[in-house]
Structure 1
């Protein structure tokens, strides 16, 4: 508006820029409140009146036409601003409800679970969404700490609904079942009832006990990554691969757990294929094993955030698939006993 006024004052009425003052209330209606739009519209009318008098436009119809244009655009801008503010308020309410649902479905994992320290990272491929088709959970149980990481085929609300079924079944079974095989079978039955057609869920479950070691069930999921204290990396594969969850009609034998060497000083990373299938600009997959050194930070959450930041940089843009990562470490022997007596002290 100021620029139009200056140019009009210098060039005079022959240029005919006066109606362009209406751009002020037009842009105000796009980004500001209706009150701000109305104020800027009144200011625009004042500018047109002053310039119209200076240019002598009110001796003919051009001045009144310019005022009419500014008033019309201002009214339209106010209506647009009111409509936009109402929609923004509705969207804010929907987002708040969605955030509550997200926290219920993918609630934060405990920083300390039994003898383990845990950290989680989740990056959704859907813009401005916090969850999608990936899932994770950590449940301390009498048999040890039981964890799951899974990936639902597909995206959107249907994938979120399937993830809620699998997580609900796992949370209940992890507390009740004595053996990891029982947990897997109950989750299998729940997924078979919920899914139809060719839909499925890949998942990996682990039971980590200080005395009994670590046992893993793999339902067609990428293998876990174990980082040794010396930096060596291992991706243990199951002796026999099991079908993903939800394909019960095609399953001949139940999934069989296998032992994994995971002890103090080691790090266990469970992840979804959104991590390893992330490509750079040249189409090269993310080399997770080569990036294991990024988990060297003493704090598990900071270490995982470092790895996540590297993954985002590798993708050179938004991720094309959801990416979930769950990092587990053994706590110091003294930390477990101290936790029983009082709050846990921060670990370096």
Structure 2
């Protein structure tokens, strides 16, 4: 194995690698030279164990083993020149150095294998995210769109939040939702909802019709997972489904237990609360008559923000919730991409880089 192959991803730079490798090599040379030139009653050989131990912190198993072998050779040279290679003391030092070098090398090998497996998992998660949550187009018709997704699951790229946007007759149709819970089960539920939503784009359903379709998809997916018709289930999805109309400055929406979207207009922020919120999806079988569309003004120059509760439930070190409305009011952004980028960075900074729940964002603006 070459030096470059033996280095971890943290030491890819060849210049940095040479500098780091010089540390254990210097330790071996210095300890050997000093030990040879000191009285035989003084034994500095045990310090040679530092060489493979330090190497394991920045290099792979191959280079760690090579440095360990070099340290053992140095110990043998010291013992030979001191005329006591076969003495119990030198044999003990050599044996101990061999054992420790092997253990450090094995540890480095196991860690490298774990990192490779973790990288593979991350790669699969990234692909899964592209399939499940395709990046929303920057523009559909006259609508400019920006989105972001932040998964709370450690080392994951996806979670239980979902969003999608499709063109519909006379409108752009969007959904944003939050599956109860986290982990693989939430990802599976989100996949069902996103697939049902995208498939409905070709069926020319009304807004209440598509919401009923999503609700039944969530309900029967839970029933299938349970192996029988479920009792009232703990599995559900809060969701907001909206149509942004092409022929007028309006947006119609059905809110199923989801945080209300925020409308930014002329420096003010208003929550678009519905008078009759529906139940979250998946609790019971649904029909079109269960849902009522409410219409709000959405004009050129307005900015509409859709989000999941992972945003407003993010906490700082003192336990305070993220002040989303205050932030939006102080920023007074007018571009969807700029708002999402700024909000994402500020949210992570506020929460110390660790969110307690998945978070999704969609910002919308009409082009003139």
Q: TM-score normalised by the shorter chain: which range applies?
A: 0.7 to 0.9
1:114 aligns with 2:141: yes
Q: For 1:256 and 1:65, how far apart are their aligned partners in 2? A: 82
- What is aligned with 1:243? 279
Aligned partner of residue 275 in structure 1, secondary structure: helix
How big is the shift at 1:295? 5.6
Q: How far apart, CA to CA, are the structure 2 residues paired with 1:85 and 1:308? A: 32
The match for 2:194 among 163, 167, 185 is 167
- Give the alignment partner of residue 73 of structure 1, picking from 77, 83, 100: 100
Contact kept? 2:148, 2:362, Cα under 8 Å: yes
Mapped to 1, the partners of 2:70 and 2:215 lie a distance apart of 67
Instruction: Please tell me whether residue 134 in structure 1 is matched to residue 170 in structure 2.
Output: no
1:290 paired to 2:335: no
Distance in structure 1 (CA, Å) of the matches to 2:39 and 2:211: 82
Aligned to 1:98, what secondary structure does the other structure show?
helix
2:126 aligned to which of 94, 99, 108: 99
Partner of 1:44: 71
Q: Is the 8 A contact 2:208 2:288 kept in 1?
A: no
List alignment gaps of at least 5 residues for structure 2. 1-23, 223-229
Partner of 2:261: 224
Higher mean Cα deviation, 166-175 or 148-157?
166-175
2:261–2:271 CA contact under 8 A, matched in 1? yes
How far the C-alpha of 1:250 sits from its partner, in A, is 9.5
Say which SS state the counterpart of residue 364 (structure 2) adopts.
strand
Q: Separation in 1 of the partners of 2:42 and 2:172?
A: 78
CA change 1:271–1:14 in 2 (3 A) is farther
CA distance in 2, matches of 1:252, 1:104: 29
Asked if structure 2 preserves the Cα contact closer than 8 Å seen for 1:243 and 1:251, the reply is no
Shift of 1:330: 0.6
SS in 1 for 2:310: helix
Counterpart contact for 1:173–1:182, Cα < 8 Å: no
- Say if 1:5 and 1:18, in contact at 8 Å, map to a contact too: no
After superposition, what is the alpha-carbon deviation per residue over 1:26-82, rounded to whole angstroms, capped at 9, x for unaligned?
A: 443465223212220222123313433455553622112222222233333444444
Structure 1 residues not aligned, in runs of 5+: 333-348
Q: Taking structure 1 as reference, are residues 295 and 185 closer, same or farther at Cα in structure 2, changes over 3 Å only?
A: farther
**In the superposition, relative to structure 1, how do residues 4 and 90 fare at CA in structure 2: closer, same or farther (>3 Å)?**
closer
Q: Cα deviation per residue 1:204-233 (whole Å; 9 max; x = unaligned)? A: 0110112252101100000000000x2111
Matches within 5 A, 1:187-336: 187-195=214-222, 197-212=233-248, 213-228=250-265, 230-248=266-284, 254-293=290-329, 296-297=332-333, 299-332=335-368
Aligned partners of 1:12, 1:235: CA distance in 2, in Å?
82
Q: What's 1:179 paired with?
A: 206
Instruction: Report the more deviating stretch, 174-183 or 23-32.
Output: 23-32
Contact map agreement 1:294 1:306 (CA 8 A) in 2: no
Moved more, 265-274 or 127-136: 127-136
Q: Is the 8 A contact 2:267 2:332 kept in 1?
A: no
1:267 and 1:38 mapped to 2: Cα distance? 59
Are the structure 2 counterparts of residues 98 and 50 from structure 1 closer, same or farther at C-alpha, using a change threshold of 3 Å?
same
Q: 1:209 to 1:295 in 2, by over 3 A?
A: farther
Question: Which stretch has the larger CA shift, 84-93 or 308-317?
Answer: 84-93
Query: TM-score, normalising length from structure 2?
Result: 0.82
Post-superposition offset of 1:108: 0.4
Q: C-alpha displacement at 1:11, in angstroms?
A: 7.2
**1:16 Cα deviation (Å)?**
4.1
Shift of 1:272: 0.5
The alignment partner of 2:85 has SS state of helix
Inter-CA distance 250–111: structure 2 relative to 1 (3 Å threshold): closer
